[in-house]
Amino acid sequence: MAVNETLSALQVMQDAPVIPVIVLHDVAHAVPMARALVAGGIRMLEVTLRTPQALACMEAIAREVPEAVVGAGTVRSAADAQAAQMAGARFAVSPGYTHAVGRACQELGLPLLPGVATGSEIMAAQEDGYTELKFFPALQAGGIPMLKAWGGPFGDVKFCPTGGVTPQNAADFLALPNVACVGGSWLVPADALAQGDWARIEALAREASAFKR
């Protein structure tokens, strides 16, 4: 996939085995971090809207790292989705699902991975046309047994489990037929950012991009 073409949620999920969940407090970290992740083979980058600097970080990555595809995480409202897209986000990830967020992303043409943790939430997202979903918080909400159980009634859904996924358990999640990728914060540790240890982030990305699925 060329990174400048229109994306689908499935392409976001299929590009690499892991979507990094990123928390940035300093705009100066955004570009070298994104370059390190891309060098390690990860280009779909979920920058969470959890810090005042998040939108500026997305802008910097979108402007200066064309090999990366920056997305917004922690999208909880239509306004979040709109602000993220204005900042250069090309996909959105939400921790839960509301029709308002689902409709807003459809109107914006912004691919969304909606967060779900129950069958009712899956059905609500599917009613609005979403079949690629984030399972959040994956480990805490039932983990692998839950994904296996959902494979029956929701066999047409692909999941990105996020929350409690680690380098140690990622392979078990990725082995499931209804898991397209996983999400996790371990690729961008806070101390590596603080130390400017881009080589460590690149190494973590390289290890993650080699996971089998």
Per-residue contact string for residues 127-146; x = within reach of ligand 3PG by CB under 6 A: ---------xx---------
Contact indicator for 92, 71 with CB cutoff of 8 Å: yes
Q: Does residue 164 belong to the site contacting ligand 3PG (CB under 6 A)?
A: yes
In the bound state with ligand 3PG, the residue whose beta carbon lies nearer, of 41 and 164, is 164
Active site residue 46: yes
What residues have CB less than 8 Å from 12, skipping those under 6 apart? 19, 44, 69, 71, 91, 111, 113, 132
Token pair belonging to 198 = 């881009």
Query: Using omega within 30 degrees of 0 as the cis cutoff, is the peptide bond preceding 137 cis?
Result: yes
Q: Does residue 53 belong to the site contacting ligand 3PG (CB under 6 A)?
A: no
Binding residue for ligand 3PG (CB under 6 A) from 49, 113, 163, 193?
A: 163
Which amino acid is present at 179?
V
Active site residue 127: no
Closest contact distance (angstroms) between CB of 134 and ligand 3PG is: 8
Per-residue contact string for residues 171-210; x = within reach of ligand 3PG by CB under 6 A: -------------xx-------------------------
d(CA 138, CA 158) in angstroms, rounded, equals 14
Q: Does residue 162 belong to the site contacting ligand 3PG (CB under 6 A)?
A: yes
Q: ∠ CA(32), CA(34), CA(40), 5° rounding?
A: 105
* The one catalytic residue among 59, 67, 132, 134: 134
Token pair belonging to 152 = 């029956």
Contact residues toward ligand 3PG (CB under 6 A) are: 21, 136-137, 162-165, 184-185
Catalogue the active-site residues: 46, 134
